[in-house]
Amino acid sequence: SWLQDSIFWIDDPDFQNLWVLRHEERLDQLHRWKDFHLETLMATLENVNRRYDELSAEKANISQEIDSLVLSEARIIGATTTGAAKYKELISIKSASVVMCEEAGEVTEQNVISALTERMENSKETKHLILIGDHLQLRPKVESYSLTKVSGNGYDLDVSLFERLIQSGFKSAMLNVQHRMRPCIADLIRRQTYPTLEDDPRVSNIQQL
């Protein structure tokens, strides 16, 4: 049907039969039909794509309004550092003055920084950052060896903010009493990593397996 509907595009008004045209003329006419329908399809696609962008933006605004309402009633917001960075604008509306980061020794410095908020028109800055972790165990994972501290290149991207602050003499508190292991097992990590680690008296009563 589309071919029949496109016959009027032939230049000759007296044209009745496609097969009376020479081969070159038929090819030329075919290209004109293809160009015409391609332009029509492209125009339709552009309109559909524009409408999709408009509806997507509208949906995102509605979702943000709903999320803002939920967060406005929350006392505590939990998120990964990636999520906190991704939804930073939304979370900043809550203006959380205290940010707590668990396993801070395994989180890259930039991920911690991206989770903090600054004073803006609709939000306040982070006033208190609490880092909880162990800077003597696993460091953040960095894919490129050349960017790690042990490579000696000076980038040190696998050094967490937590470790850097402690190594710089920043005030910190460390738990030095363990409640999990028999003393003979704790001796292993005392010799290797935690020389000041003490045993809670109750661990001496743990049954031997």
Query: What is the distance, to the nearest Å, from the Cα of residue 53 to the centroid of all Cα atoms in its chain?
Result: 22
- 140/125: higher pLDDT: 140
Bridge partners for 131 per DSSP: 101
Rounded Cα gap, residues 80 and 92, in angstroms: 15
Whether the CB-CB separation of 116 and 98 falls below 8 Å is answered with no
Predicted pLDDT of residue 4: 53
- Residue 191: predicted pLDDT: 93
pLDDT digits (tens, 9 = 90+) for 54-82: 999 999 889 888 888 888 888 888 999 88
Higher pLDDT among residues 17 and 49, named by residue: 49
Give the pLDDT confidence of 139-181 residue by residue, as tens digits: 999 999 999 999 999 999 999 999 999 999 999 999 999 999 9
Chain centroid to CA 43: 35
pLDDT of residue 37: 87
Q: How far is CA 7 from CA 19, 31, 36, 118, 175, in A?
A: 12, 13, 12, 66, 86
pLDDT of res. 14 = 46
Distances (CA, A) of 19 to 27, 30, 82: 11, 12, 65
User: Which is more confidently placed, 80 or 26?
Assistant: 80
For the chain, the C-alpha Rg in angstroms (whole number) is 33
Higher pLDDT, 122 or 206: 206
Mean pLDDT score of the chain, rounded to an integer? 86
Neighbour-count burial of 85, counting CB atoms closer than 10 A to its CB (0-12 exposed, 13-18 middle, 19+ buried): middle
What residue type is 130 in one-letter code?
Answer: I
Q: What proportion of the chain, given as a percentage, has pLDDT over 70? A: 89
Instruction: Say what the pLDDT of residue 1 is.
Output: 53
